[in-house]
Amino acid sequence: MLLEFKTKNYKSFANEMCFSMTPAPKQKGLDYSILSMRAGSKMYKGLSTAVIYGPNASGKTNVIGAMDTFKAIVMRGNIRNADTVSLNYAAGALELIPNCNGDKLPTEFSIRFVNNGLMIEYSLKADLGTFMEKDYSRKIFEEKLLVNEKLIFLRNDTLCVELPTAIKDYVNSSIKRKTPKMLEIAESSLVDTELFLNNGFKSIYAQKLVTTILDWFSYKFIVIYHSEDLRVVRKFADPKANTVYVEKTLTDAARAFGITANALGYKPVTDKEGEDVELYSIFGNKILPAEIFESYGTIRFINEFPLVILALLNGGTLVMDEFDASIHPMALMNIVNIFHNDDVNKNNAQLVFNTHNPIFLDASLLRRDEIKFVERNDETGNSEHYALSDFKTADGIRKGEDYMNNYFVSRYGAIKDIDFSPILEKIISGNEVIGNE
């Protein structure tokens, strides 16, 4: 269960951005949106959903991009560029991360989550140079890990390692107690561009603990940065099958979605680089690639639905850019309500997505702390993030108000007046030339 994600000096977020999934104080109502998980002797609460609003180019996607980038860095264990290129280029080419205002500032990430009875807090501060400075000699300034609010290690100018009782079941069996020699070996293992978490700490101190942390990032922190990422997500497919087969779960979901004439299934593909299987529409003994027959909205839904199931089964956090694109509002509302349903969402799954669709600005559907905004400062060009719950009741923002109307009259910010008329008037009047003369 994700509790909080922070970043600083990441693209348009020059200042610290704190994305909280913990319930805001003094927020009442819609308690079914609140999840609870125990870690150690303490109970932690989290929100089951969050939706992010803001105009185009405000930085909404940068929130999700920062999560995806941090996940990629943690999974590969270093701040060097990746060999493979993803749709989130900054996750592989880290010179794209720093804010482009020219100041040389460190980039920071931190995350808090609960998993397997542990509250994990991991943070990283790294000097990546300035924007587009590809050959800069990068260095990790600080790296810190806490479990159940107890310090495990702190790496900065020196290295401090603690082994509190909170992680006694996760410490390497060869360790009976800490020794100066062990710390000396750990210090000698440090490399400026490599995470201590994945390297020295894992091999010397606590392989099981690091595996638990990396498993959460890998299997439960499901971040879809771009809609095209869905094309390679085939969680219910069996690439070893030599014929197309009906996938009952997806076919049942498609029936509920509105498809009645055909079934759906997967077929292995060997001539497409990077894809093992392809989605097909099935008509008795006849098959057709789904992209030829089905609508874009249907294909998006079918590709998204397995991720929803995985999050619900594993208690994962599904974070997706434009989750609602080309999907009917009734289907979207039902999925959101599923994450709010204790009888279905038994494993504390979470759904986070950005959108332009105002239907979620509804006090009967989402709490104020579940409604997030991102806007861009016109003077600095920097993005700012906040929640509807950050507005005080003295400002007139109360539960039960018409959030949608208030948003469109700019009471919450994160919206822009757009008028293309002057541009078009110049073109039509002949004062602007289009193309070559």
Q: In the predicted model, what is the mean pLDDT of residues 42-56?
A: 93
Alpha-helical runs (H) found in 77-179: 89-92
Q: With a cut of 60, say whether residue 365 has pLDDT above it.
A: yes
For residue 276, the model assigns a pLDDT of 65
Alpha-carbon span 277 to 284, nearest angstrom? 20
For residue 414, the model assigns a pLDDT of 66
pTM: 0.87
Alpha-carbon span 18 to 6, nearest angstrom? 4
Report yes or no: 128 and 140 within 8 Å, Cβ to Cβ: no
Architecture of the structural domain at 1-226+321-437: 3-Layer(aba) Sandwich (3.40)
Report yes or no: 111 and 122 within 8 Å, Cβ to Cβ: yes
For residue 318, the model assigns a pLDDT of 95
For residue 408, the model assigns a pLDDT of 66
Q: With a cut of 60, say whether residue 66 has pLDDT above it.
A: yes
Tell me the one-letter amino acid at 240. K
Report yes or no: 374 and 383 within 8 Å, Cβ to Cβ: yes
For residue 271, the model assigns a pLDDT of 55
**Both tokens of residue 28?**
């009442």
How do residues 232-291 score in pLDDT, each as one tens digit? 445 444 444 444 445 667 677 777 766 666 777 777 766 555 456 777 788 878 888 878
Alpha-carbon span 284 to 288, nearest angstrom? 11
Report yes or no: 204 and 189 within 8 Å, Cβ to Cβ: yes
37 DSSP β-pair partners = 44
Domain boundaries, the chain: 1-226+321-437
Helix (H) or strand (E) holding 222: strand 221-224
**Between β-strands 17-20 and 286-289, what pairing exists: parallel, antiparallel or unpaired?**
unpaired
Mean pLDDT of the chain: 84
Alpha-carbon span 203 to 162, nearest angstrom? 15
Helices then strands (H, E): number in the chain?
10, 19
